[in-house]
Structure 1
Amino acid sequence: MTATATPAPDASAEAAPALPAAGSSFYTAMRLLPKARREAMYAVYAFCRAVDDVADDGGAAEIRAAELDRWRTDIDALYAGRPAPRVRDLVVPVQRYGLARADFQAVIDGMAMDAFADIVAPDETTLDLYCDRVASAVGRLSVRIFGMPEDLGIRLAWHEGRALQLTNILRDIDEDAARGRLYLPREKLARIGLVDPTPGAAMTHPRLGEVCAAVAAEAEAHYRATWEIIAASPRRATKAARLMAAAYRLYLDALIKRGWAGPRARVRPGKLALVAVALRHGLI
């Protein structure tokens, strides 16, 4: 896209974001990795966090557009051997693990889908593209760092990324609606009579549960495929992927158990449940 205004760089724009929260499943999963791979994942996380912050809190649309374009330019320069200060932590991971420029650019494109207009009831194709860009592209970067075989790794990223992102969508439907966003797919909403839905109308519709249940079933299918790929993969390379899949499946199970009727309480699996999952999969 063409930027209409370019903000001047400042110290805050160049600063790397904080590491993931110590209590998060992502942080726990990354701690399972050897030091070099863990530091590579933190560099990828910092990039994703910074781009996400632009999309969510980057100011006026023209400023967000300019900053996302600047990130695209910085990624291109990184691969041309001229890394800007804010992407220098990616130099070693890119060289050591063969990370693809297209995946970094896909993450930026995914954040751009959120940056300039609120997503409201995307069609199935658009929703799948969004999931691929904001989740599976991150997965493709991650599986190379984990040391997965190429074919298995790409398939794992495809399924696990979608499983996790659909779980996020179901977990956050009320919070997203409060921000004017609705990620549930248009075709499924049309089946319950919402042809031109708004977030508010969807959240209060008496048949919303049918849509959520259908999306949950798709997520479950992706989790099943994820575990089939993990079972066929080298165990040492799947520790982090196993923990992420198991932890997020706890969220999905809790959502299904809670149900979809309002008012919907926020679900958060407890630490003991996460510990039990880690023990079950031999991760601690």
Structure 2
Amino acid sequence: MSDPHAYCQEKAASSGSSFYYSFLFLPPERRQAITALYAFCREVDDVVDECHDVQVAQAKLEWWRNQVRLVFEGQPQHPVGLALQDVIKHFNLPREQLLEIIDGMQMDLQQTRYLDWKALQLYCYRVASVVGLLSAEIFGHQNRQTLKYAHDLGMAFQLTNIIRDVGEDARRGRIYLPIDELQRFNVPARQILDGVHSDNFKALMAFQTQRARQFYDQAFAQLPKEDRKSQRPGLIMAAIYRTLLDEIEADGFLVLDRRTSLTPLRKIWLAGTTWFKG
């Protein structure tokens, strides 16, 4: 595909992600920029999810690290790199943060368990909060307090993903729920890997959901009034993800053998109502 931005658009649209719906109402330049960032995240995430040979995946992530370097030196080769080159000319996106996203993906190659919340928090920061910080730059802000909002919202999104994908991740041999919390709620890892639902598991998931909601509340409390309008795409994502969290809870946390999702129509409705609410 000759147009790098068209490649990114295709990558974003084909993913079916909720993020795509939050971009729809943005002005063209910002929509193009956030789509390029999202396509970058998808590319490096796909390396980990689709590459079953760890050494090959490591090599591909190193290739992407080099691609980031080339973006900032003006010589990228990949369509996403070419699109990002345009983006960094117009928006303040630090190289270190793009590399930190790759560091987060690297963690997936090196470990399948997290000892405690502190260890998981570092992972969530790298794969989600950093994306939130970069997105806040693209959306535009006047007040630096908005970056605290973006950080916490990223945490909330990643915790929601973890809750939704417990079963799917377990089938890949990964458990993101902290080991010390599994022990506290008396949920053996084997039970999760075998997809065995229990009252203890339900209590554990209610605890994880409460933590996610605390991060949503904390994020909203930190969003300055003057930046609320520019940061509406994040608020759209939050509306979609919080609704998803409510659905998972209403279903009794049956996440071990199914993946709860919202219909595209419902996502568009939530996106539209959130955008026009301002």
TM-score band, normalised by shorter chain: 0.7 to 0.9
1:174 — aligned with what? 167
**Equivalent of 2:95 in 97, 101, 107:** 101
1:114-193 mapped onto 2 (5 Å cutoff): 114-117=108-111, 119-149=112-142, 151-193=144-186
Q: Distance in 1 between matches of 2:60 and 2:268?
A: 40
1:221 is aligned with what amino acid? Q
1:19 — aligned with what? 11
Q: Verify the 8 A CA contact 2:168 2:256 in the aligned structure 1.
A: no
| 3-state SS in 1 of match to 2:113 | coil
Q: Verify the 8 A CA contact 2:244 2:260 in the aligned structure 1.
A: yes
Deviation at 1:257, TM superposition (A): 1.2
Deviation at 1:258, TM superposition (A): 1.2
1:246 — aligned with what? 239
| 3-state SS in 1 of match to 2:12 | coil
Deviation at 1:282, TM superposition (A): 4.2
Q: Verify the 8 A CA contact 1:29 1:244 in the aligned structure 2.
A: yes
Q: Verify the 8 A CA contact 1:121 1:185 in the aligned structure 2.
A: yes
Question: Structure 1 residues 127 and 263, CA, compared in 2 at 3 Å: closer, same or farther?
Answer: closer
1:255 — aligned with what? 248
1:227-242 mapped onto 2 (5 Å cutoff): 227-230=220-223, 232-242=225-235
Q: Distance in 1 between matches of 2:256 and 2:157?
A: 23
CA RMSD of aligned residues (A): 2.6
Q: Distance in 2 between matches of 1:98 and 1:268?
A: 33
1:9 — aligned with what? none
1:6 — aligned with what? none
Question: Structure 1 residues 183 and 253, CA, compared in 2 at 3 Å: closer, same or farther?
Answer: same
1:274 corresponds to 2:253: no
Of structures 1 and 2, the one with the larger relative CO (CA 8 A, separation 6+) is: 2
In the alignment, structure 1 segments of 5+ residues that lack a partner are: 1-14
1:110 — aligned with what? 104
Q: Verify the 8 A CA contact 1:58 1:64 in the aligned structure 2.
A: yes
Deviation at 1:59, TM superposition (A): 4.1
| 3-state SS in 1 of match to 2:276 | coil
TM-score, scaled to structure 2:
0.86
Q: Distance in 1 between matches of 2:264 and 2:99?
A: 35
Question: Structure 1 residues 131 and 137, CA, compared in 2 at 3 Å: closer, same or farther?
Answer: same
Percentage of identical aligned residues? 33
Task: Name the structure with the higher helix share.
Answer: 2
Deviation at 1:197, TM superposition (A): 5.8
Q: Distance in 2 between matches of 1:262 and 1:102?
A: 35
Deviation at 1:219, TM superposition (A): 0.5
Q: Distance in 2 between matches of 1:50 and 1:96?
A: 22
1:4 — aligned with what? none
Matched length: 269
Q: Distance in 1 between matches of 2:255 and 2:104?
A: 30
1:92 — aligned with what? 86
TM-score, scaled to structure 1:
0.84
Question: Structure 1 residues 219 and 129, CA, compared in 2 at 3 Å: closer, same or farther?
Answer: same
1:204-215 mapped onto 2 (5 Å cutoff): 204-215=197-208
Deviation at 1:141, TM superposition (A): 1.1
Question: Structure 1 residues 235 and 143, CA, compared in 2 at 3 Å: closer, same or farther?
Answer: same
Of stretches 158-167 and 201-210 in structure 1, the one that deviates more from structure 2 is 201-210
1:216 — aligned with what? 209
Question: Structure 1 residues 123 and 234, CA, compared in 2 at 3 Å: closer, same or farther?
Answer: same
1:93 is aligned with what amino acid? V
2:3 — aligned with what? none
**Equivalent of 2:36 in 43, 46, 53:** 43
Residues 91-120 of structure 1: per-residue CA shift (max 9 Å, x gap): 121121110111101110111111244x22
Of stretches 253-262 and 131-140 in structure 1, the one that deviates more from structure 2 is 253-262
